[in-house]
Chain A
Amino acid sequence: MSKFKKKGSKEAPPISTASLPDIVFMLLFFFMIATVIRDTSILVDQEMPKATEIQKLQKKSLVSCIYIGRPIKEMRSKYGDEPQIQLNDTYKTLNDIPDFIAKEREDKIEAQVPQMTTSLKVDKKVKMGIVTKVKQELRKVNALKINYAATEDNDR
């Protein structure tokens, strides 16, 4: 009998997957920090115009969005082809904008109200008539900081 016993089988030990959860958690945390919750489903066509002088909006909590554009395909039979204004989750009219801004202001601290920005997300094919009317409504309720949403233009 030999003194050196062969130890067990020759199979490699199983690869430890203990660090897998750590890696996945790292990814998870990255996504939790780098993204925001999608709050509204967009019911209008959105093709943003391009611009070179864009600035990033800081403080997302102080931004309220007004979407303007042609209704999406599923809604066209009901709402027609004309550009619609979308506030929160439904189509609204111009008269609802003051209420919308008032609601947005309600849960903010008073000092933050002047910093609130209204982001106009307008499809590039929309005519200026409706946009101007929206701007007039915003002026009436003194929501003067606006942002014309646009995407970065790398060609020009």
Chain B
Amino acid sequence: MRKTRKPPQQINAGSMADIAFLLLIFFLVTTQMNADSGLLRKLPPLNTDAEPPKFPERNVFVVLVNANDQLMVENQHMDVSELRAATREFILPACNDPDQPVCMDTTLYVPGAGPKQVTLTKHLVSLQNDNNTSYDMYLRVQNELIAAYNELRNELAEEWYGKAFDKLTDDQAAPIKVVYPQNISEAEPKQAGGPQ
């Protein structure tokens, strides 16, 4: 007579949870969660031979920050909170204003919407800070300048595609970047006021 088969012995899995907890705690301690985020910029290549492109004065939006974190925009004292609107106004084509950049009309091919008549300006935002400007202030100014561009780009993207700018594909974004190119140039900082 054959023996009746015994069911296989159950393995005690009670310690499995402990092991998993150990691993979990190890990962909690050795890793960090914060995603890197910040303002993405591109530095101009270092090329000492090339002459900096000349822009007529009316095409240049001069933003100066001094050692005391004070802001001067186009020779006028300004608060950071007003900078965004001022930048916007400058970038937007206004062809009859002698203080604003020169305009030119072109036709751009917009994917999905065909050719569009647009007005371009050859503008430049020139940012200059002092060596003693605080980084916080510098970043706030940068932020406002970028915000002005982003607002305008978003508005155009809504108008053309009904979507926000960062939701667009590269093809769709290209004509918008032609209309509002981010021309932010940074001059060498000045050393004025205060010790180094």
Contacts and interface: CB of A to CB of B under 8 A. Distances in A.
Interface of A: 17-18, 20-21, 24-25, 27-28, 31-32, 34-38, 49, 51-57, 60, 63, 65, 117, 119-120, 122-129, 131-132, 135-136, 138-140, 142, 144-152
B132 interface: yes
Contacts of B41: 146-148
B169 to A, nearest CB: 16
Given A38-B32, A54-B37, 8 more contacts: A51-B140, A57-B38, A125-B136, A128-B133, A144-B44, A146-B40, A147-B40, A150-B38
A147 B27 contact: no
A147 B36 contact: yes
A81 to B, nearest CB: 14
Given A31-B24, A53-B143, A139 B44 contact: yes
A128 B134 contact: yes
B175 interface: no
B42 interface: yes
Interface of B: 13-14, 16-17, 19-21, 23-24, 27-28, 30-33, 35-46, 129-136, 138-140, 142-143, 146-147, 150, 188-189, 191, 196
Say whether chain A's binding surface is mostly helix, strand, loop, or mixed: mixed
Contacts of B33: 34-36
Contacts, number: 155
A60 B35 CA distance: 9
B39 A138 contact: no
A31 to B, nearest CB: 5
Given A138-B43, A150-B38, A53 B146 contact: yes
A38 B39 contact: no
22 contacts: A20-B17, A24-B17, A28-B23, A28-B24, A32-B31, A38-B31, A51-B39, A52-B143, A119-B36, A127-B132, A128-B130, A128-B132, A128-B135, A129-B131, A138-B43, A142-B45, A145-B40, A147-B38, A148-B39, A148-B41, A148-B139, A149-B38
